[in-house]
Structure 1
Amino acid sequence: MAIKVRPTAQVDETAAIGEGTTVWDLAQIREHARLGRGCVVGRGAYVGPGVRIGDHVKLQNHALVYEPAVLGDGVFVGPAAVLTNDRFPRSVDPEGRLKHGGDWEAVAVEVAEGASLGARSVCVAPVRIGRWALVAAGAVVIRDVPDHALVAGVPARRIGWVGRAGVRLVEREGQPGVWECPETGALHDERDGRLVARV
């Protein structure tokens, strides 16, 4: 499958783009970024220098993924979502001089396999979003999110669990700590604030 890059997109010549990936209008992919196979980079999306993105990832329109973010396979980043990279953001140093690239240390947002970030959500680095987790639209994530967690609010907090289908899990009646996906029937066990899928 061919790589498709719209004429108004900017893809640095040092970026690596996997086969079958589509980069839409006005998107920008910076130097040494790596995108896997079958990705979709929406209109106006930004991928910073050295960002690593797995296979089958979707960045919706105007999503901003700042370096040194790492996104696993199957991640979804909703419209206008932001992955930050500066722990102490300032335009100038204490003496009022404009800061440059070497004047601060970039920190990463890591989004694990299958996780989804809702529209206009913000992940404040450094933070890790667990496998198959779901961040609600407009949420602000300031701490790590466990695998399969459903988080919402400002700051984001866990309000439930989700399975691989993205559907909110339901606790089985009479079986505390056993969660079932209403769509797939898959079962999960909750232990010490974590959810583990049954094999």
Structure 2
Amino acid sequence: MSVQVHPLADVGAAEIGDGTTVWQFAVILSGARIGSDCNICAHTFIEGGVTLGDRVTVKSGVFLWDGLVIEDDVFLGPNATFTNDAFPRSRQRKPYPVTMIKRGASVGAGAVVLPGVTIGEGAMIGAGAVVTKSVPAGETWAGNPARKL
């Protein structure tokens, strides 16, 4: 097994595990850590301060920013949005809070996850949800703002 990177992907000096596939038009910056057997779909972006576990699926249109930690067996649906700055200002650099997506969690298509939250192990976030606070393990949340179903 080996890492498969499409010739139209732009992959910096990232650490990428065995069996991972990176599709066309994906951009992975230097310093990113990506586990084994991941599927990084087309039109994705992964910043250098991101960590992905093993067997993670990142569907098209997902951008992952510094401060994001994604554990093993996580699914990130198409166009799921992650933020890392609660008070953004142009050209002001500051430390970013850690946002955690725990093992086996799924984030539905078009969901928005605000900075500094944790999505618990095995949790399910519905499509289009806006996650403003941490989600306990095993729960399903949906809506705007997201709440337990």
| Whole-Å separation in 2 of the counterparts to 1:154 and 1:122 | 9
| Structure 1: 5+ residue stretches without partners | 92-98, 160-199
When Rg is computed on C-alpha atoms for both structures, the one with the higher figure is 1
CA distance in 1, matches of 2:97, 2:9: 26
**Matched length:** 149
Query: % of aligned pairs identical?
Result: 40
Partner of 2:147: 157
2:21 and 2:38 in contact (8 A); partners too: yes
* Shift, 1:157, TM fit: 0.3
Kept after mapping to 2: 8 A contact 1:9/1:24: yes
* Unaligned stretches of 5+ residues in structure 2: none
Given residue 26 of structure 1, which amino acid in structure 2 is its aligned partner?
F
Q: In the alignment, which residue of structure 2 is the partner of 1:74? A: 73
Q: Confirm or deny: 8 A CA contact 2:77 2:106 kept in the other structure.
A: yes
Show the counterpart of 2:94.
Answer: 104
Per the TM alignment, residue 90 of structure 1 is displaced from its structure 2 partner at its CA by 2.0
93, 111, 122: which one pairs with 2:112? Answer: 122
* Partner residue in 1 for 2:12: 12
Q: So what's the TM-score if we normalise by structure 1?
A: 0.73
Kept in 2, the 8 Å contact 1:84–1:108? The answer is no
Which of 128, 137, 140 is matched with 1:147 structurally? Answer: 137
**Equivalent position amino acid for 1:140 in 2:** V
Matched to 2:141, the amino acid is V
1:40 aligns with 2:39: yes
Residues 6-28 of structure 1, C-alpha deviations (whole Å, 9 max, x = no match) = 11111102x10000000001011
Deviation at 1:105, TM superposition (A): 2.5
Please list every run of at least 4 consecutive aligned residues from structure 1 whose deviation after the TM superposition is greater than 4 angstroms: none
| CA deviation profile, 1:124-173 (whole Å, cap 9, x unmatched) | 001000000000000010100000010001110000xxxxxxxxxxxxxx
Give, in whole Å, the separation in 2 of the partners of 1:153 and 1:90. 27
Contact 1:48–1:68 (CA under 8 A) maintained in structure 2: no
Give the aligned residue type for 1:112.
K
- 1:39 alignment partner AA: C
Kindly report which structure 2 residues correspond to 1:176-195, keeping only aligned pairs within 5 A, or say none: none
